[in-house]
C-alpha cells in the first residue's frame, strides 16, 4: 500500500502542481500587479512590485464605488438565492409526491428554463419591467432570477423521489400532512442538495451582467460585474487600476468562499445531486 | 414509473401549442403592451441624460456641464448616466423599444439620426437649431449629422479630427528618423524601425474600427471625398471600384510588411493606446479623442502629431480632417421634454461651449476652442480651419449591418489575410445593395 | 446496457398499474397547487412571458425602436438564415465549442476526481484550489485573460521567450485559428472545478466494501476504477454532460468580454451574432429568430439527455 502510494504520488503530484500553478498564477499576477503603478507594469509585466503602491485601490474605492456595487450584488444574490431555494424545493416536492394530470408536461416546460440564455429575453423583459414599473429597482433583477427555479426543481425532484418509501410511510403513519412532511422530513434530508444548488445559483446570479445592464439605470445600482466592466471601460489604459478593480471583485467572493468552504464542500460531498 | 412514451408525445404537443400561441396572440399582445404605458406627465424637474462619455476629456467635460447646470438651482436637476461605448447601443435600444428613454440623449448622428427619426423616436429640434445655428461653426457639417427628411433632430456638439498620426519623438530621434511627410518617407522610417527591432505602428483592431480608420485615411487620398459619398449613396460609385480596392490593399500591406504591433488583430483599441503610450511603438493613428484625455491623464512623453503622410501618386490632395461626432437629442418618449429643452438650450450657449472645450473637447460653438481648449486641442483644431472638406467615419453613414459588420470585420480580415482587397470591396457592396 | 433496461421496464409497468388507483383517491392537483404556485408564478411571468415575446418577435421585422413599426413577416427570418454565412459559421463554432468544452470539462473533472480520491496527502488543498476559478465572475476572468494573452503587453509571449520557446509566441486571440480554442480553454479553466466536485461527491458515496470485494478478488487499482468505480459514475457523468452542454450552448459572457465575436467572426457564436443583429444592426426580428434556433437546438439536446438521464436514475 505504502509503496503504491509513493508511485501514485510521483505521477500525480507534478500534475496537481502544474494545474494549481495554471490556476493560481493569473490570479496572483493580477493581485500583485494591482500594487504597481502603470509605468511599473509596462516596464515589466512579470516583476513583483518594488514597493507597495496603494493608489490604485484608493481610486477604485473613491471613483469606482466598488463597495457599493459589492453591496448591491450581495443583496441581490442573497435574496434571489434564498427565494430560489424555497420556491424550487416546494415545487420539486409537488412533482415528486403528487400524481396529477399534466405533471410531466409541466415539468418539461419548466426544464425549458434551464436552457434560456438571458440575452434572449432582454428586449421583451425590459418591456415587461416597464409595464410592471420595476425598472431601476432591485426587484426587477430579483424577480427575474426567481424565474430560474428549473435547475433546483430538476435536482430536488430527483432527490425527493429517491427518498426511500419507508421513510415517507413512517411519517404518514405518524399523521404528518404534506406540509409537515415537506418541512420536517424532506427538507432536512435535502440539506446537502440544497447547499449545492445554492452554490450554483449564487454563481449564476453573481456572474450575470446582461439584466443589470439593461434594467438598472442608476449607476449606484450596478452590480459587481457591471461595475468592473464600466470601471475598466473608464480606465482602459491604466492596467494597475484595472487590476485593482478586478482584484476587489475577485478577492471578496474568494474570501466568502473560503469562509463557507467547509459547508460548501461538505454539502457537495454529502451526496447532493444524487446520481 | 408512468408510461413515458405517451407523455413524451403530450410534451411535444404542448410544446407545439406553446410555440404557436404567441404567434396567434402576437399582434394583440404587442398592441396591448403599447397601450399599457401611457406617457406619464411628470413635473419633477429631473432630467435624465445618457451619454457614452465615461472617461478622459469627455467624461470630465460632461461632469462639469452637469455640475454647473445643477449649481444654478433653477428647479431642474440633470442626472447623468455614463454608459460604456460598447454597451451604449444595447441600453439605448432596449430603452427606446420599451418606451422608457432618457430625457436627453447623446449619440453619434448620421445613420442613427435617420434610424431614430424614421421610427419617430426623436423630437424635432429645427426651431432650437435655427436660433442656435449662428453661434455654431461648421454648421453645415453639423446639419448633415442631424437631418432627416429636411428637419433637424439633434444638436451637433463635438468635432473630431481623424487623420493625423501621433508619434513618439524619442523613438524617432533614437533611430535617427526625421518626421516623415510623404508615404515613402513614412515607409522608409518604418523599415528603419523594424530593422532596429522597434514596432512601428501600435494597432488594436479586434473590434474592427481602428483598422477601418486607416482604410479611411487611404480612401481619402485614393478616392476623394466626393467619390466616397457617391459610393455611400450608391450613386455613380461602388465599393468595388478600383480606388476602394486600392485603399484596402494599402491597409493590407501594413500587415504584410510587418509594420503593425503583434496584437493588431487580437487586441482592442485601449491596449494599442497603452502600447503607444508606454513607448513600445513609434506611431499611432487615431482621432483627436485620443488627445482630449491628456488634460486628465498627461502622457508620459511629449507626443508629436503629424498630418497623415501623402502618397506620391495620390489622386486626391484634399485636406480632410474629420467630422462632427457627438450630437444631443430629445427622445419623443422623454418624461420631461420641456425641462430637457431648457437644458439643451443652455448647452448651445458660449458658457457651455467653453466648459466643453476647457476639458479637451472640440466644441462646435464659435470661439469656444480658441479661448479655452488645451493647447494640443487648439493645434488640432487649427487644421480644421485650413481644411477644405469634412468626411464622417464611413460606418456612421452606412446602415449598421454594413458599417459595423462588413466594414469592421472586413478590415480585420484584410489584416489576417482572410480576405483579398477585392473581396473586401465586394462584401461591402453586396451588403449595401441588399440593405437598400 | 441490456441489464439496465429490464428494471426500467418493470418500474414503468408498476407505475402504469398504480396510476388509476392514485388518481381515484384524492384530487392531488389541488394539494399540489400551493407547492407549485410560487415557482410557477415567477417562471411564467418573468421567464416564459418574455420567452414568448422573443418567439413572437422572431416572426416579425422590427428595427427595435418603435413598437408601432413591428411588421409580421411569417417565417421570412428563418428563411433568411440559409443565406447568412455568419449564421452558419456561428453554428459551427457553437458545436465546436460544445464538443470541445464538454469533453474537456468532463474528462479533466473526472480524471482529477479519481486522482484526488486516492487519499494522497494534500488532496484537500488541491481540491480547494481547483474550485477557485468557478467562484470568480466570468467578466473578471475574461478581462484578466485578455490582459494575460495580449501579445504586446501581456504575459504569455514573454514567458515563452523566457523558457526558450520563443518560436511559439503568437497573436493568440488575434489569430483566427487559435481564438476559439483559446476561448474553450478559458471556459474549461473556469468551469471544471465544480464538475470535479460533483464527481467527488459521487465517488465518496460508493460503499467501501465494493472496492474491498474487488481487491479481495485480486483486482488492481486500475481494474477497480474501470470495473467498479466508473460504471457507478454513469448517471453523474450524464448529469455533468447535461449541465456542461447547456452551459456551453448559452455561451456569451466570455466571448462578449474578450472578443465580441472577432477577429472577423472567428469566435462568433449564435448568441453573440443574435445580439449583434438585434442590438447593433437594427434587426430585432432576425436576431430573435437566431435565438429561437439556438433555443431549439438546446431544447432538443437537453430533452434527449434528460429523458435518458431519468431512465438511468430510476434503476
The answer to whether residue A23 is domain-embedded is no
Question: Is residue C226 assigned to a domain?
Answer: yes
d(CA C126, CA A265): 13
**Residue A119 in domain:** yes
φ/ψ (deg, to 5) at B249? -65, -35
pLDDT at residue A178 in the model: 87
Q: Which residues in chain B touch residue A122, judged by CB atoms under 8 angstroms apart? A: 94
Whether residue A76 has pLDDT greater than 80: yes
Does residue C68 sit within a domain?
no
pLDDT band with cut points at 50, 70 and 90 for residue C19: very low
Identify whether the C-beta of residue B362 lies closer than 8 Å to the C-beta of residue B69: no
Q: Please name the member of C12, C264, C282 whose beta carbon is closest to the beta carbon of B400.
A: C282
Query: Same domain, yes or no, for C302 and C185?
Result: yes
**Angle ∠(B160,B161,B165) on CA atoms, nearest 5:** 135
What mean pLDDT is reported for chain A?
Answer: 84
Judge whether C36 and A90 are in contact, CB under 8 Å: yes
* Tens-digit pLDDT profile for residues A27-38: 999 999 999 988
Asked, for residue A48, whether it belongs to a domain, the answer is no
State the pLDDT at residue B24. Answer: 35
For C3, other C-beta atoms within 10 Å of its C-beta total 7
Domain count, chain A: 1
pLDDT of residue C164: 86
- State whether C241 and C286 are in the same domain: yes
Compute the distance between CA of residue A120 and CA of residue A117 in angstroms, rounded to an integer: 6
Residue of A39, A123, A237 lying closest to B270 (CB–CB): A237
Chain C neighbors of B30, CB-CB under 8 A: 56, 67, 70
DSSP state of A183: I
**What CATH number has the domain bearing residue A104?**
1.10.3720.10
Find chain A residues with C-beta within 8 A of C234's C-beta.
Answer: 275
Nearest to B255 by CA among B46, B419, B400, B375: B419
Task: Residue B86: list chain A partners with CB under 8 A.
Answer: 233
Per the structure, the complete domain to which residue C121 belongs is given by: 78-313
For residue C275, list chain B residues with Cβ-Cβ distance below 8 A: 90
Comparing CB atoms, the residue among C65, C68, C72 nearest residue B115 is C65
* Same domain, yes or no: C245 and C197: yes
Q: Give A158-193 pLDDT, tens digit per residue.
A: 888 888 888 888 877 777 788 888 988 889 888 878
A119 and C298 within 8 Å at the Cβ level: the answer is: no
Chain A positions in Cβ-Cβ contact with residue C62 (cut-off 8 Å): none
What pLDDT score does B363 carry?
Answer: 95
Which 160-189 residues of chain C touch chain B by CB within 8 A?
169, 171-176, 179
What whole-number distance in Å separates Cα of residue B67 and Cα of residue B84? 20
- Asked if residue C257 and residue C186 are part of one domain, the reply reads yes
Q: Count of A–C CB contacts within 8 Å? A: 273
Confidence of residue A264 (pLDDT cuts 50, 70, 90): low
| C268 falls within a domain | yes
Query: Is the Cβ of C262 closer than 8 Å to some Cβ of chain B?
Result: yes
Q: How would residue C314 be classed by pLDDT, with cut points 50, 70 and 90?
A: very low
What's the rounded Cα separation, in Å, for the pair A29 and A45?
A: 9
Average pLDDT along chain C? 85
Identify the residue whose cell numbers are 456638439.
Answer: B157
What would the grid cell of residue A261 be? 468552504
CB-closest option in C11, C67, C152 to B1:
C11
| B35 CB burial (10 A radius; 0-12, 13-18, 19+) | exposed
Query: pLDDT > 70: what percent of chain C?
Result: 89
A-B interface: how many C-beta pairs under 8 angstroms? 90
Lowest mean pLDDT among A126-135, B7-16, B336-345, C51-60: B7-16
Provide CB contacts within 8 A for A191, sequence distance 6+: A267, A270
Per DSSP bridges, beta strands B281-285 and B362-363 are unpaired
Dihedral pair phi/psi, residue B87, rounded to 5°: -95, -10
pLDDT of residue A162: 82
Cβ-based neighbour number of residue B77 at 10 Å: 17
Q: What does the pLDDT average to over A79-105?
A: 93
Task: Decide if pLDDT at B201 tops 80.
Answer: yes
Q: Tell me the three cell numbers of residue C225.
A: 476504477
- Provide long-range contacts, Cβ within 8 A and 24+ apart, for C258-262: C258/C142, C258/C145, C258/C146, C258/C173, C258/C183, C258/C186, C259/B206, C259/C173, C259/C179, C259/C183, C260/B86, C260/B206, C260/B207, C262/B206, C262/B207, C262/B208, C262/B409, C262/B412, C262/C179
Higher-confidence position of B132 and B1: B132
* C136/A254 CB distance under 8 A: yes
Q: What is the pLDDT of residue C59?
A: 96
Cβ contact, residue pair C307, B2, below 8 Å: no
Query: What's the pLDDT tens digit per position in C84-125?
Result: 999 999 999 999 999 999 999 999 999 999 999 888 888 888
* CA–CA separation, A22 and B188 (whole Å): 43
Query: pLDDT band at residue C23, thresholds of 50, 70 and 90?
Result: very low
The reply to whether residue C137 touches residue A29, judged by beta carbons under 8 angstroms, is no
At residue A212, does pLDDT exceed 50?
A: yes
- When mean pLDDT is compared across A29-43, B198-212, B249-263, the lowest value belongs to A29-43
Residue C72 falls inside a structural domain = no
Q: Which residues of B touch C16 (CB under 8 A)?
A: 2-3
Cβ-based contacts of B97 with chain A (< 8 Å): 123, 126-127
CA distance B336 to B294: 35
Residue B104 has pLDDT above 50, yes or no: yes
What percentage of residues in chain A have a pLDDT greater than 70? 93
Say how far apart CA B303 and CA B55 lie, in whole Å: 20
**Where does the pLDDT of residue C12 fall: very low under 50, low under 70, confident under 90, or very high at 90 and above?**
very low
C276 and chain B: CB distance < 8 Å anywhere?
yes
Of B11, B84, B99, the CB nearest to A233: B84
The yes-or-no verdict on residue C13 having pLDDT over 80 is no
What phi and psi, each to the nearest 5 degrees, are found at residue B182? -105, 165
Cβ distance B411 to B205 under 8 Å?
Answer: yes
- Work out how many domains chain C is built from and give that number: 2
Please give the ipTM for the structure prediction. 0.87
Residues C271 and C308 in one domain: yes
pLDDT of B43 above 70: no
Domain membership flag for residue C71: no
Residues in chain A closer than 8 A to C46 (CB atoms):
125, 128, 143-144, 146-147
Q: C159: distance to nearest CA of chain B, Å?
A: 15
Structural domains for chain B: 46-159+324-382 (3.40.190.10), 164-320+398-435 (3.40.190.10)
CB B240 within 8 A of CB B429: yes
**pLDDT greater than 80 at residue C315:** no
C223 within some domain: yes
The average pLDDT across C42-66 equals: 93
Contact A12 C118 (CB under 8 A): yes
Neighboring chain A residues of C225 at a CB cutoff of 8 Å: none
Alpha-carbon distance C276 to C267, whole Å? 13
Query: What's A12-61 look like in SS3?
Result: HHHHHHHHHHHHHHHHHHHHHHCCCCHHHHHHCCCCCCCCCCCHHHHHHH
The grid cell for B116 is: 431614430
**Which DSSP category does A119 fall into?**
G
CA-CA distance, C113 to C201, in Å (whole number)? 9
Q: What is the pLDDT of residue C227?
A: 85
Nearest one of A85, A81, A99, A105 to A208, comparing CA atoms: A81
Test mutation, A112, A127, A133, A135, chain B, max B CBs within 10 A:
A127
Is the pLDDT confidence value at C72 over 80? yes
Residue from B11, B15, B267 to probe the interface with C (highest C Cβ count within 10 Å): B267
Residues of chain A contacting residue C257, judged by C-beta atoms under 8 Å apart: 229
pLDDT digits (tens, 9 = 90+) for B267-299: 999 899 989 998 999 999 999 999 988 888 888
Asked if residue A70 is part of any domain, the answer here is yes
Q: Span B221-225, mean pLDDT?
A: 92
> What's residue B148's pLDDT?
96
CB neighbours (10 Å) of residue B23? Answer: 15
- In this structure, is residue A34 part of a structural domain? no
Residues of A in contact with B93 (CB under 8 A): 123
Phi/psi for B49 (5° steps) reads: -125, 125
Residue C259's CATH number: 1.10.3720.10
Query: How is residue B212 written as a grid cell?
Result: 477601418
Please report the pLDDT score of residue A260 as a whole number. 67
Are B14 and A105 within 8 A, CB to CB?
Answer: yes
Q: Which of C32, C133, C193, C207 to mutate to probe the A interface, most A CBs <10 Å?
A: C32
B365-407 pLDDT, tens digit per residue, is 999 999 899 999 999 998 887 776 778 899 999 998 999 999 9
Q: Which residue of B has its CA nearest to C300?
A: B12
- For residue A217, the distance in angstroms to the closest alpha carbon of chain C comes to 18
CB contact under 8 Å between B15 and A213, yes or no, is: no
Cβ separation C281–B202 shorter than 8 A: no
Task: Identify whether A18 is part of a domain.
Answer: no
Q: Check: pTM over 0.80? Answer yes or no.
A: yes
In a domain? residue C73 = no
For residue A241, which of A59, A4, A41, A50 has the smallest C-alpha distance? A59
**Are the Cβ atoms of B85 and A237 closer than 8 angstroms?**
no
> Binning pLDDT at 50, 70 and 90, where does residue B103 land?
very high
CB B99 within 8 A of CB B313: no
Q: Do B14 and A217 touch (CB under 8 A)?
A: no
How far B274 CA lies from chain A's nearest CA (Å)?
Answer: 5
- Burial string for C264-294 (b: 16+ CB within 10 Å, else e) reads bbbbbbbbbbbbbbbbbbbbbbbbbbbbbbb
Could C200 and A268 be called an inter-chain contact, meaning their C-beta atoms sit closer than 8 Å? Answer: yes
Domain containing A100 equals: 60-269
Residue B201: its chain C contacts at CB < 8 A? Answer: none
Q: Does A242 touch chain C (CB under 8 A)?
A: yes
Nearest CA among B393, B406, B394 for reference residue B432: B406
Residues of B with Cβ-Cβ distance to C14 under 8 angstroms: 1
Contacting chains of A (3 CB pairs or more, <8 Å) are B, C
Residue C67 lies in a domain: no
Chain C residues close to B115, C-beta within 8 Å: 63, 65, 282
Chain A nearest-CA residue for C248: A115
- Measure CB to CB from residue A98 to each of C29, C40, C43 and give the nearest one: C29
Question: Rounded distance, CA C175 to CA C266, Å?
Answer: 9
Share of chain B above pLDDT 70, in %: 89
Asked whether residue A95 is domain-assigned, the answer is: yes
Confirm whether A191 is domain-assigned: yes
Same domain, C141 and C257: yes
Residue of C19, C176, C265 lying closest to B2 (CB–CB): C19
> Could you tell me the pLDDT band of residue B25, with boundaries at 50, 70 and 90?
very low
Asked if C25 and C122 sit in the same domain, the reply is no
Task: Give a three-class secondary structure readout of chain B.
Answer: CCCHHHHHHHHHHHHHHHHHHHHHHHHHHHHHHHHCCCCCCCCCCEEEEEECCCCHHHHHHHHHHHHHHHHCCCCCEEEEEECCHHHHHHHHHHHHHCCCCCCEEEECCCHHHHHHHHCCCECCCHHHHHHHHHHECCHHHHHHHHEECCEECCEEEEEEECCEEEECHHHHHHCCCCCCCEHHHHHHHHHHHHHCCCEEECCCCCCCHHHHHHHHHHHHHHCHHHHHHHHHCCCCCCCCCHHHHHHHHHHHHHHHCCCECCCCCCCCHHHHHHHHHCCCEEEEECCCHHHHCCCCCCCCCCCEEEECCECCCCCCCCCECEEEEEEEECECCCCCHHHHHHHHHHHCCHHHHHHHHHCCCEECECCHHHHHCCHHHHHHHHHHHHCCECCCCHHHHCCHHHHHHHHHHHHHHHHHCCCCHHHHHHHHHHHHHHHC
Are B11 and A104 an interchain contact pair (Cβ–Cβ within 8 Å)? Answer: yes
pLDDT value at B135 more than 70:
yes
Going from the C-alpha of C229 to that of each of A207, C82, C117, C226, C280, the distances in angstroms are 34, 46, 11, 6, 51
CB contact under 8 A, B300 and A39: yes
- What percent of chain B has pLDDT above 90? 72
pLDDT of residue C299: 85
pLDDT (tens digit, 9 = 90+) per residue, C160-214?
A: 888 888 888 888 999 999 999 999 999 999 999 989 988 887 888 788 888 888 8
B with C: how many residue pairs have Cβ under 8 Å apart? 168
Which range among B129-133, B212-216, C296-300 shows the weakest confidence by mean pLDDT? C296-300
Question: Is residue C263 reached through a cis peptide bond, with omega within 30 degrees of 0 on the bond before it?
Answer: yes
pLDDT tens digits, one per residue of C231-241: 888 888 988 89
Where residue B258 falls among pLDDT bands split at 50, 70, 90?
Answer: very high
Of the segments A53-62, A155-164, C263-272, which one has the largest average pLDDT value?
C263-272
Query: C72: helix, coil or strand?
Result: strand
For B149-194, what is each residue's pLDDT tens digit?
A: 999 999 999 999 988 999 999 999 999 999 999 999 999 999 999 9
**Grid cell in block for residue B193:** 524601425
What's the whole-number mean pLDDT along residues B58-68?
95
Amino acid at each position: 500500500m505504502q509503496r503504491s502510494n509513493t508511485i501514485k504520488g510521483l505521477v500525480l503530484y507534478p500534475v496537481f502542481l502544474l494545474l494549481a500553478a495554471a490556476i493560481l498564477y493569473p490570479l496572483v499576477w493580477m493581485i500583485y500587479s494591482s500594487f504597481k503603478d502603470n509605468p511599473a507594469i509596462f516596464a515589466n509585466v512579470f516583476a513583483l512590485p518594488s514597493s507597495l503602491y496603494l493608489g490604485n485601490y484608493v481610486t477604485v474605492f473613491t471613483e469606482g464605488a466598488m463597495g457599493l456595487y459589492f453591496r448591491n450584488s450581495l443583496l441581490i444574490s442573497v435574496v434571489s438565492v434564498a427565494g430560489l431555494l424555497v420556491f424550487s424545493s416546494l415545487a420539486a416536492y409537488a412533482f415528486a409526491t403528487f400524481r396529477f394530470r399534466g405533471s410531466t408536461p409541466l415539468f418539461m416546460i419548466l426544464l425549458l428554463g434551464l436552457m434560456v440564455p438571458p440575452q434572449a429575453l432582454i428586449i421583451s423583459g425590459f418591456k415587461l419591467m416597464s409595464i410592471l414599473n420595476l425598472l431601476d429597482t432591485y426587484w426587477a433583477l430579483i424577480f427575474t432570477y426567481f424565474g430560474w427555479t428549473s435547475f433546483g426543481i430538476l435536482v430536488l425532484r430527483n432527490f425527493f423521489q429517491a427518498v426511500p418509501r419507508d421513510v415517507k410511510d413512517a411519517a404518514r403513519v405518524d399523521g404528518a400532512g404534506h406540509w409537515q412532511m415537506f418541512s420536517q422530513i424532506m427538507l432536512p434530508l435535502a440539506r446537502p442538495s440544497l447547499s449545492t444548488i445554492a452554490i450554483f445559483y449564487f454563481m449564476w446570479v453573481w456572474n450575470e451582467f446582461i439584466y443589470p445592464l439593461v434594467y438598472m439605470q442608476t449607476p449606484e445600482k450596478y452590480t459587481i460585474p457591471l461595475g468592473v466592466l464600466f470601471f475598466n471601460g473608464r480606465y482602459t489604459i491604466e492596467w494597475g487600476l484595472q487590476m485593482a478593480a478586478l482584484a476587489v471583485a475577485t478577492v471578496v467572493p474568494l474570501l466568502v468562499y473560503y469562509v463557507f468552504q467547509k459547508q460548501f464542500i461538505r454539502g457537495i460531498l454529502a451526496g447532493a445531486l444524487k446520481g | 414509473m408512468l408510461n413515458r412514451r405517451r407523455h413524451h408525445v403530450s410534451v411535444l404537443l404542448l410544446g407545439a401549442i406553446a410555440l404557436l400561441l404567441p404567434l396567434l396572440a402576437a399582434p394583440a399582445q404587442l398592441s396591448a403592451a403599447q397601450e399599457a404605458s401611457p406617457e406619464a406627465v411628470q413635473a419633477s424637474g429631473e432630467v435624465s441624460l445618457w451619454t457614452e462619455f465615461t472617461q478622459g476629456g469627455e467624461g470630465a467635460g460632461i461632469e462639469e456641464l452637469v455640475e454647473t447646470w445643477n449649481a444654478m438651482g433653477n428647479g431642474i436637476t440633470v442626472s447623468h448616466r455614463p454608459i460604456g461605448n460598447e454597451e451604449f447601443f444595447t441600453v439605448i435600444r432596449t430603452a427606446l423599444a420599451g418606451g422608457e428613454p432618457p430625457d436627453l440623449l447623446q449619440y453619434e448622428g448620421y445613420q442613427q439620426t435617420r434610424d431614430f427619426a424614421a421610427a419617430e423616436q426623436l423630437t424635432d429640434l429645427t426651431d432650437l437649431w435655427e436660433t442656435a445655428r449662428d453661434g455654431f461653426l461648421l454648421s453645415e457639417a453639423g446639419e448633415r449629422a442631424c437631418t432627416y427628411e429636411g428637419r433637424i433632430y439633434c444638436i451637433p456638439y463635438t468635432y473630431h479630427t481623424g487623420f493625423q498620426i501621433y508619434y513618439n519623438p524619442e523613438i524617432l530621434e533614437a533611430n535617427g528618423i526625421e518626421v516623415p511627410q510623404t508615404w515613402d518617407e513614412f515607409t522608409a522610417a518604418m523599415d528603419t524601425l523594424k530593422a532596429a527591432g522597434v514596432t512601428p505602428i501600435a494597432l488594436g483592431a479586434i473590434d474592427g474600427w481602428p483598422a477601418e480608420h486607416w482604410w479611411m485615411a487611404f480612401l481619402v487620398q485614393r478616392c476623394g471625398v466626393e467619390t466616397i459619398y457617391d459610393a455611400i449613396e450608391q450613386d455613380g460609385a461602388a465599393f468595388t471600384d478600383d480606388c476602394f480596392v486600392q485603399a484596402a490593399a494599402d491597409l493590407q500591406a501594413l500587415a504584410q510588411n510587418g509594420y503593425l504591433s503583434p496584437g493588431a488583430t487580437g487586441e482592442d483599441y485601449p491596449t494599442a493606446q497603452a502600447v503607444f503610450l508606454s513607448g513600445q511603438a513609434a506611431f499611432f493613428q487615431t482621432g483627436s479623442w485620443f488627445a482630449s484625455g491628456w488634460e486628465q491623464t498627461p502622457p508620459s512623453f511629449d507626443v508629436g502629431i503629424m498630418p497623415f503622410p501623402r502618397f506620391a501618386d495620390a489622386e486626391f490632395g484634399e485636406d480632410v480632417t474629420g467630422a462632427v461626432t457627438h450630437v444631443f437629442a430629445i427622445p419623443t418618449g422623454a418624461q420631461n421634454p420641456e425641462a430637457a429643452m431648457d437644458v439643451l438650450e443652455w448647452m448651445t450657449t458660449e458658457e457651455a461651449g467653453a466648459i466643453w472645450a476647457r476639458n479637451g473637447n472640440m466644441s462646435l460653438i464659435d470661439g469656444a476652442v480658441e479661448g479655452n481648449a488645451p493647447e494640443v486641442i487648439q493645434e488640432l483644431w487649427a487644421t480644421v480651419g485650413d481644411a477644405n472638406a469634412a468626411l464622417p467615419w464611413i460606418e456612421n453613414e452606412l446602415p449598421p449591418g454594413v458599417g459595423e459588420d462588413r466594414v469592421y470585420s472586413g478590415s480585420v480580415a484584410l489584416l489576417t489575410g482572410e480576405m483579398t482587397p477585392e473581396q473586401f470591396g465586394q462584401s461591402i457592396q453586396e451588403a449595401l445593395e441588399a440593405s437598400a | 446496457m441490456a441489464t439496465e433496461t429490464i428494471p426500467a421496464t418493470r418500474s414503468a409497468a408498476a407505475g402504469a398499474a398504480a396510476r388509476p388507483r392514485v388518481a381515484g383517491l384524492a384530487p392531488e392537483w389541488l394539494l399540489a397547487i400551493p407547492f407549485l404556485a410560487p415557482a410557477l408564478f415567477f417562471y411564467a411571468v418573468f421567464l416564459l412571458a418574455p420567452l414568448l415575446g422573443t418567439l413572437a418577435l422572431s416572426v416579425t421585422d422590427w428595427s427595435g425602436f418603435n413598437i408601432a413599426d413591428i411588421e409580421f413577416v411569417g417565417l421570412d427570418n428563418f428563411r433568411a438564415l440559409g443565406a447568412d454565412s455568419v449564421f452558419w459559421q456561428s453554428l459551427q463554432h457553437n458545436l465546436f465549442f460544445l464538443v470541445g468544452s464538454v469533453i474537456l470539462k468532463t474528462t479533466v473533472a473526472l480524471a482529477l476526481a479519481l486522482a484526488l480520491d486516492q487519499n494522497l496527502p494534500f488532496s484537500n488543498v488541491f481540491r480547494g484550489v481547483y474550485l477557485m476559478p468557478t467562484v470568480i465572475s466570468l467578466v473578471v476572468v475574461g478581462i484578466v485573460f485578455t490582459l494575460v494573452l495580449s501579445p504586446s503587453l501581456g504575459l504569455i509571449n514573454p514567458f515563452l521567450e523566457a523558457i526558450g520557446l520563443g518560436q511559439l509566441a503568437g497573436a493568440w486571440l488575434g489569430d483566427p485559428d487559435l481564438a476559439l480554442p483559446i476561448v474553450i480553454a478559458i471556459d474549461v479553466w473556469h468551469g471544471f472545478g465544480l464538475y470535479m466536485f460533483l464527481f467527488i461527491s459521487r465517488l465518496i458515496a460508493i460503499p467501501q466494501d465494493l472496492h474491498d470485494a474487488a481487491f479481495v478478488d485480486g483486482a488492481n487499482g486500475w481494474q477497480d476504477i474501470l470495473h467498479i468505480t466508473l460504471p457507478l459514475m454513469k448517471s453523474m457523468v450524464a448529469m455533468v454532460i447535461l449541465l456542461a452542454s447547456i452551459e456551453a450552448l448559452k455561451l456569451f459572457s466570455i466571448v462578449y468580454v474578450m472578443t465580441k465575436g472577432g477577429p472577423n467572426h472567428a469566435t462568433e457564436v449564435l448568441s453573440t451574432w443574435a445580439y449583434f443583429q438585434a442590438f447593433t444592426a437594427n434587426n430585432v426580428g432576425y436576431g430573435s429568430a437566431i435565438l429561437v434556433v439556438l433555443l431549439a437546438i438546446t431544447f432538443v439536446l437537453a430533452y434527449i439527455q434528460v429523458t435518458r438521464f431519468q431512465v438511468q436514475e430510476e434503476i
